[in-house]
Structure 1
Amino acid sequence: MTISSFSLGVIAFLSAMIGTLVAKIGGADETLVRKGLMGYNSVLTGLVLQTFLTGPTAWVVALVGAAVTAILTATLMYFLGNLGIPILTLPFILLTWFTLLASYKLESIKLSGSLSPQSLANWELNMEGKINLLQSTFNGIGQIFFVTEAIPGLLLFIAIFWASRKMGIYAVIGNVVACLTALALAGEHALILLGLYGYNAILTILAVSVVYNTKENRYAPITGVAAACITVPLMASVSIWLLPLGLPALTMPFVLSTWLILGARKVLPKL
């Protein structure tokens, strides 16, 4: 990430420290802290706010957002934990959306020019541009950390394979099936190339087929592929739903698709 943007690398490091510090000061379970479960949402919040905000206060807002996200993470862990459902990236999504919306009423929080509300009445589907499936694959993994260049995306893929060959293979499968699904459904070529239909699919197949997979989930590989495909129409619908608000979809398709399968497994355990 630092290769692509030094400032994003710094903000990610500081956000991780802040999220972990809040967890330690608050007395969180040490196992959760060591696994990074109290900090990853803070990292994502810091990255997105630094990306979509501008002005001299952007860094401050991003880091404060990282701290508040750690608290929101604990809150949602409590409520969703009672249902046996993981929080995934929900704290990051909610905190980011509310902060970006607050910018319309708070002058100290300034949006960058990349975000602006759009009317659905004037929306047109743009099918121009060629698609490079290999580049789309690397861009998909890069989009998880808001990186669009091919080289950082390739390095992230290598890092996943280095950590776990199984996760690396699933990441490739998830990205490819998402790209093919988007093509089959005639999605915008530019969005496919940028990896915007891929990153949610990668997260989803890893969650469904690897992270939250048990011996009882006999059909987890198939279910993971299906869940990855589902993120494509979810991405299309969520992004259009948020278009009038000028908000990015972020990882909400991943959260919804993963919850769909994990919730179903409470009744259909073989999935």
Structure 2
Amino acid sequence: MFVIQNSSLSFLNRNTVLWLTLSSLKGISQVILIENTVTGFIILAAIMISSPYLGLITLLSVIIGTLIGKIGGADAESVNRGLFGYNSVLTGMALSLFLSGENRWFIALIGAAIVAFFSAAMIHVMKNTGLPILTFPFIILTWFLLLTTYRMVTFKLSPELIPQDLSHWTLNIKGETNWYNGSVKGIGQIFFLDNNLSGILLYIAVFWAGWKFGLYAIIGNAAALITSYFLGGEHSLIFMGLYGYNAILTIIAVSIVFKDNQRFALLVGIIAACLTVPITASIDTWLLPYGLPALTMPFVLCSWLVLGARKVLTSL
């Protein structure tokens, strides 16, 4: 009798570990609006190659978010699909990068936990609108926690995030034009990565989920590169991929994931991807006095704009 119980317990543990692994990998892939365990694994490998520390934070953050969704009694399908993990992934990564000090990893993991509750609240608030929450919880929580660095000594802003006075701001559009870097690093910046090999792996991860995901990611990034270049953006930002990552997420969202058989979905997606460029520039300017990054707010605003308009303009 004891042996049977012990075997049953081991089987249960194996099932739990398997469920947590699969759901967590899907949570990582959901950052780019894809539900695929292999894609999630390749993304995690790409992050690990760039920074083992960041890879560990990613893994712990997605596990925390997934477990909170499960233990908290959220809809099982949503938890299993990784929808409680992706905001935790981004929050944990962002806070570990944009804060300094020995305790930043602890703050990052606490943030990954808090954003899971925030996600649940946003799901409830947004359910009547028919719009997805996307990465809005990650953006707001990360901005709020970074702003606490000006009032609380426990939180220390990274020296890389330097507040600047707009009255003394000068635009420098000079610099090297490296189209290869811009093509590869755009997708990497979704996960705060500035590594060409990691960017290539991320494209492989996206193509694994489906050729359309990969092709649209390339189109979205190209649209942002061309738009930002001809609008006279700073070359250093363009070719680091800082105008591309929001465009990639936007075109995938409006042209594939949340498309309801609209005839002009790809065209609308390209337009929305191009629109993320001036919106990114605008948000960057707003946040300049605080030294905060735009994160994925351009993606959220452009996606909500298109998805909301489709409620009325049904052909879009």
Structure 2 matches for 1:164-179, cutoff 5 A? Answer: 164-179=210-225
Say if 2:289 is the partner of 1:250: no
Partner residue of 2:266?
Answer: 221
Secondary structure of the 1:148 match is coil
2:196 is aligned, of 140, 143, 150, to: 150
Written as runs of structure 1 = structure 2, the 5 A alignment for 1:106-255 is 106-215=152-261, 217-255=262-300
Structure 1 segments, 4+ long, off by >6 Å, are: none
Structure 2 matches for 1:7-86, cutoff 5 A?
7-86=53-132
Q: Which amino acid aligns with 1:184?
A: F
Q: Which runs of 5+ in 1 are unaligned?
A: none
TM-score normalized with structure 1 length: 0.99
Post-superposition Cα deviations, 1:2-38, rounded to whole Å, max 9, x if no partner, equal 0000110000000000001111111001110111111
Are 1:260 and 2:305 counterparts?
yes
The Cα of 1:116 is off from its aligned counterpart by 2.0
Deviation at 1:117, TM superposition (A): 1.3
Report 1:79-94 matches (<5 A): 79-94=125-140
Shift of 1:238: 0.4
Measured in 2, the distance between the counterparts of 1:57 and 1:162 equals: 37
Distance (Å, rounded) in 1 between the aligned partners of 2:93 and 2:314: 36
Task: Give the secondary structure class of the aligned counterpart of 1:3.
Answer: helix
> Structure 2-normalised TM-score?
0.85
* Secondary structure at the counterpart of residue 103 of structure 1: helix
Structure 1 distance, partners of 2:280, 2:300, is: 11
Residue type matched to 1:267 in 2?
A: V
Which residue matches 2:149? 103
Give the Cα–Cα distance (whole angstroms) in 1 for the partners of residues 126 and 183 of structure 2. Answer: 32
CA RMSD of aligned residues (A): 0.7
Q: Which residue of 1 aligns with 2:49?
A: 3
Q: Distance in 2 between matches of 1:113 and 1:135?
A: 25
Using the alignment, how far apart are the partners of 2:162 and 2:187 within structure 1? 25
Partner of 1:144: helix, strand, or coil?
Answer: helix
Matched residue SS, 1:137: helix
Distance 1:263 1:134 in 2: 35
**Matched residues in 1 for 2:101 and 2:247: separation?**
33
Instruction: Give a deviation string over 1:68-110, Cα, whole Å, max 9, x none.
Output: 0000000011111111111000000000000000111111111
Percent identity for Structure 1 against Structure 2? 56
Deviation at 1:270, TM superposition (A): 1.0
Structure with a larger share of its residues in helix: 2
Give the partner amino acid of 1:250.
L
Unaligned 5+ segments in structure 2 are 1-46
**Aligned partners of 2:184 and 2:73: how far apart in 1?**
39
Distance between the aligned counterparts of 2:95 and 2:255, measured in 1? 30
